[in-house]
């Protein structure tokens, strides 16, 4: 029997802002935590991001969240993904019956920081100039229009560790 409420932490933001790195570090610091990268749940080669595959990804995410919630070794589930407001609603509705305390964060950073992080990433082939422009434009406009309650964390002058600790400060 669970004597405390488990945490479900959603980390959202433009691509390249640090969601995955911060989410993984958050799990390391918290312990007894599971990390879900939404991109894993939609890892099709070649990539296809249409209505069908996004619905499948959400179904995969919900399945994983439910399994981690049922696991006695897991106190926290961290989901990192670029998520539209509509899909946030689907995910939160899909776990509404579970005894989770929900935390919803959006990571942002300034243009110079994102560009520097982007240019220093030699692993991800999708980090090209075209995608950088898309990420920069979406960071400023998309999240300011949202109705969902979220906490913005500006990671511009923060390391991954400092960013994860900022999120932990907001957990109550």
Domain boundaries, the chain: 6-167
| Alpha carbons 166 and 133: distance in angstroms, whole number | 27
| Alpha carbons 30 and 12: distance in angstroms, whole number | 19
Q: What is the pLDDT of residue 121?
A: 76
The structure tokens listed for 35 are: 């990390």
**pLDDT, average across residues 152-170:** 95
Q: How does residue 146 score in pLDDT terms, banded at 50, 70 and 90?
A: low
Tens digit of pLDDT for each residue in 68-124? Answer: 999 999 999 999 998 888 899 999 999 999 999 999 999 999 989 988 888 887 777
pTM listed for this prediction = 0.90
List the strands of the sheet with 76-80, edge to edge: 33-37, 76-80, 6-13, 100-108, 151-154
Mention every residue, 6+ apart, whose C-beta is less than 8 A from residue 149: 104
Report how far apart, in Å, the C-alpha atoms of 167 and of each of 18, 83, 116, 170 are.
Answer: 13, 18, 22, 5
**pLDDT, average across residues 32-55:** 92
Q: CATH for 6-167, among 3.40.50.300, 3.30.9.40, 3.50.50.60, 3.55.40.20?
A: 3.40.50.300
Q: How does residue 2 score in pLDDT terms, banded at 50, 70 and 90?
A: very low
């Amino acid at each position: 029997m669970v004597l405390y409420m488990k945490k479900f932490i959603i980390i959202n933001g433009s691509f390249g802002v640090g969601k995955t790195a911060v989410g993984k570090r958050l799990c390391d610091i918290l312990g007894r935590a599971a990390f879900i990268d939404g991109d894993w749940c939609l890892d099709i080669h070649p990539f296809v991001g249409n209505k069908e595959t996004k619905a499948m990804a959400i179904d995969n995410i919900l399945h994983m969240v439910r399994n981690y919630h049922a696991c006695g070794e897991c106190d926290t589930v961290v989901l990192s993904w670029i998520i539209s407001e509509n899909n946030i609603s689907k995910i939160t509705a899909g776990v509404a019956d579970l005894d989770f305390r929900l935390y919803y964060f959006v990571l942002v950073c300034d243009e110079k920081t994102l560009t520097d992080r982007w240019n220093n990433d030699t692993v991800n082939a999708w980090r090209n100039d075209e995608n950088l422009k898309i990420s920069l434009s979406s960071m400023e406009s998309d999240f300011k229009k949202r109705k969902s309650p979220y906490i913005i964390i500006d990671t511009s002058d923060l390391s991954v560790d400092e960013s994860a600790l900022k999120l932990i400060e907001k957990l109550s």
